[in-house]
Structure 1
Amino acid sequence: MYNIRSLQEGEEEALYDLLAVSFTKGNEEIPSVRKIQKQIIESEPSFSHELNRVIEVDGKLVARVGIYDRTMLFNKREFRIGAIGGVCTLPEYRGNGLAKALLDDCTDYMRKNGFFASMLFGEPAIYGRKGWQVLSSFGISSNLKLPLPSTLRIRSADLKEDMAWLKYIYDDINSDLNGPFRRSKEYWEKWIFRKIIIRESHNIKIVENKGQKLGYYVLKADNTICEMGWDRNVADSFNELIGAIFSEAETETVNFIFFMQELFDFICNNSISPELDDMRDKKYYVSKDAIYCGLFKLIDKTEIATTEELISLLRKNNYIFWDIDHF
């Protein structure tokens, strides 16, 4: 017999142990994995014991599902999203349906506590059985060249010095987009800080012209562009930002893992026309590519009846997920 419940005060160390043993693979060392998992928990702005759903067997924590409490911006409104992460079961307890039982418990918990929908990143074959469905959106890729801006400076962001400006630009740009998470000051200081400083999985670049900040973009470790924002009060800031991104690209093809129509149009309308001999040698393009955006499940059916309707609505409204928010 097992007991499904929320994490209790004083069980944090047992939770870190559970995560470490469950997620350690191959040549990885358990203490190193434990350290990373502890950092994830400690950098979570919405952490609460209630949001950590666990299974106890004979006084031991053997499985866990975490709910990350997020606010999604959509059509000028805010929706509470339960982002599912840290799904794990100790190796010796796998194959007994414990994770499935926890997912049912999470769904029930979110339904009772005012969540609109849930999302996660995982295998559809596993989570599809519990109602989560694949959402795809679009990205942009191009190997065309843009005119190189001459007076711009591009530098890595200093999160302490640039935090207020980054938050201002993010809040302004994302107020008109569909899908991004609302980011509080604490979220920037804890969650984003971990991704940039501790994990070094992303790099925020700031574009300046004569000391004036124009915009920023975020690079993943594989050099894909996974987020950007610009100061709409500064003339030509968008144009200068895109030019800077292309000028600094370390790969022949520049990949954006999100879609903005104005970005696509700008590349098409402002790229340098390739020479005929170059076009004979290779293909030049700007393309709109389907990308995986996770799995969604409708929780609150007050306004929308089915998860299928939710998926359709998100796709029709150009859903955007910024990768640095990945949980």
Structure 2
Amino acid sequence: MKIRSVRPDEIERVIDLQCLAFQSDGRDRYRQYIEGDSSYHYQLTRVVSVEGQIVATLRIWDRRIQIGATTVPMAGIGGVCTDPEHRGSGYGSALMRDTVRHLSTLGYDLGILFTIIPCCFYQRLGWHPLPLSGFKLEVTDTCHPTSTDWQVAPFSEAADLNQVVDLHDRDGGQYSGATVRTRSYWEMKPSRIRGILPTVVARLDGQLGGYLNYEIDGTEAKILEVGYDHQQPMALVALVNRLLTDCLQKSVQRITGDISHQHPIVGLMQKQSKGDLLLTGNSDMMLFAVNLPSLLRRLLPEWQLRLDRAQRSFPPLSLRLEQNNQQAILHLPPDGRLKVFNQSLPSSVPGDPLGLKIPEMVFWSLLFGESSWEQLLPALTIHNLENTDRVSDLMSVLFPSRTVIFWSPDHY
């Protein structure tokens, strides 16, 4: 068994495997994932070769993601599959383990995947879920639209794309968990295949104030993405009016979305439809800390800003964090300038760091802000976390809760 990057003359075999594993008529789609992605190179497709035959493969998507307000390079793992005739031989597990090492050589600190199989396969390989919030709204046969001057029309790429891109950068792209989109990302074939373009836009006097991306399948409508100018909230109202009217005309019974109920659109839809709102969620998103100390260093500027804004002094403290068999020391010296060390403190720093064994799923929830330190503290106590007032004072400032959204069109 050999694990390596794909060769150009093996791409068709990789596409064959993907068709066998996922979608028999998806050949054009999978080819466009490669040929239509300007960020692609052959090092991003890994294969398992047994006696000269490719029996397993996966794809690495070169992307960037928001963790809080910090942009972090990430490796998105997708298309993990094994030839049905060779399953059960451990090739998929071996490929995933080798890929983590490969990500390190490529300079990634973070790996993310979305699983369509039970999480346990990836969990035993060190990947852990970040549960994300969603909603389901049961739609009634009446709606109560709010009057607005904003006009809603179908999205026109020629007329609207530039303003949609700008609005996404100012709104939808700022959520923790959101993929950072370059202009070329909007135009790449994989993005178009996944439905990145909005369904409708809201305009007033020629100015675009919001966009909504949704799809209707039978009796269910799903919101894929929404963005709006927060200085123009009535643009969002107009978009909701249009969505609910569309749902009534097409006899839609429910509206769903992988969007936190904290987003204004959820409460607005519930108010205007008088429907029953249910909070949902999923654990399909899984993460791996490829280089824990480097990942935490990327977050230092934002953490330091939070400490400075707290306008209070914190006693010196050193905490040892552990994830994926790695250690990182979070050190707050007397001068209040937060630092991250790899595995141990410098000899010039007195004392030993306090071990903080945070369960993996809790760690990722804290890092992205799905839950705050204070919200998770009862759960951490159950895990016998060695907590003190000094620890909680610092961690409560570093880890507030935020709205976390990974927009559906960015799935790979």
Q: TM-score range by the shorter chain?
A: 0.7 to 0.9
Contact 2:130/2:364, CA 8 A, preserved across alignment: no
What is the distance in 2 between the residues matched to 1:3 and 1:10?
17
1:177 maps onto 2:175 in alignment: yes
Contact 2:6/2:45, CA 8 A, preserved across alignment: yes
Aligned in 2, Cα 1:214/1:268: closer, same or farther, shift over 3 Å?
A: closer
Correspondent of 2:404 among 316, 319, 325: 319
Aligned in 2, Cα 1:90/1:270: closer, same or farther, shift over 3 Å?
A: closer
1:206-232 alpha-carbon deviations (Å, 9 max, x no partner): 223454422111113542112100134
Shift of 1:55: 1.3
Contact 2:74/2:109, CA 8 A, preserved across alignment: yes
1:109 maps onto 2:102 in alignment: yes
Aligned in 2, Cα 1:23/1:213: closer, same or farther, shift over 3 Å?
A: same
Q: Which runs of 4+ in 1 moved over 6 A?
A: none
Correspondent of 2:285 among 258, 278, 294: 294
Q: Which amino acid aligns with 1:177?
A: Y
| RMSD, aligned α-carbons | 2.7
Correspondent of 2:122 among 105, 122, 127: 127
1:254-277 alpha-carbon deviations (Å, 9 max, x no partner): 3232015251685389547x6xxx
What is the distance in 2 between the residues matched to 1:6 and 1:89?
16
What is the distance in 2 between the residues matched to 1:4 and 1:127?
18
Identity %: 23
1:136 maps onto 2:131 in alignment: yes
What is the distance in 1 between the residues matched to 2:265 and 2:199?
22
1:10-60 alpha-carbon deviations (Å, 9 max, x no partner): 332332233233435xxx4xxx33222212222334211111111122322
Structure whose alpha-carbon radius of gyration is higher = 2
> How many residues were matched structurally?
306
Contact 1:121/1:294, CA 8 A, preserved across alignment: yes
Correspondent of 1:216 among 211, 215, 235: 211
Point out where structure 1 has 5 or more consecutive residues left out of the alignment: 275-283
What is the distance in 2 between the residues matched to 1:56 and 1:113?
21
Query: Equivalences for 1:1-327 in 2 at 5 Å?
Result: 2-24=1-23, 28=24, 32-122=25-115, 123-142=118-137, 143=139, 145-149=143-147, 152-190=150-188, 191-196=190-195, 204-209=199-204, 211-222=206-217, 223-234=221-232, 236-249=234-247, 250=250, 251-259=252-260, 261-263=262-264, 266-267=267-268, 270-271=271-272, 284-302=275-293, 303=296, 305-306=322-323, 307-308=360-361, 309-314=363-368, 315-316=370-371, 317-327=402-412
Q: Which amino acid aligns with 2:11?
A: E
Contact 1:136/1:290, CA 8 A, preserved across alignment: yes
Tell which deviates more after alignment, 38-47 or 56-65.
38-47
Aligned in 2, Cα 1:266/1:36: closer, same or farther, shift over 3 Å?
A: closer
Q: Secondary structure at the match of 1:224?
A: strand
Aligned in 2, Cα 1:17/1:178: closer, same or farther, shift over 3 Å?
A: same
Tell which deviates more after alignment, 215-224 or 245-254.
245-254
Aligned to 1:279: none
Instruction: Output the TM-score relative to the length of structure 1.
Output: 0.82
Q: Secondary structure at the match of 1:296?
A: strand
Aligned in 2, Cα 1:221/1:297: closer, same or farther, shift over 3 Å?
A: farther
Contact 1:19/1:86, CA 8 A, preserved across alignment: yes
Point out where structure 2 has 5 or more consecutive residues left out of the alignment: 297-320, 324-359, 372-401
1:70-129 alpha-carbon deviations (Å, 9 max, x no partner): 100122211122111111112222211111111001111112322232221222122111
Q: Secondary structure at the match of 1:84?
A: strand
What is the distance in 2 between the residues matched to 1:114 and 1:92?
34
Q: Which amino acid aligns with 2:365?
A: I
Aligned in 2, Cα 1:241/1:264: closer, same or farther, shift over 3 Å?
A: closer
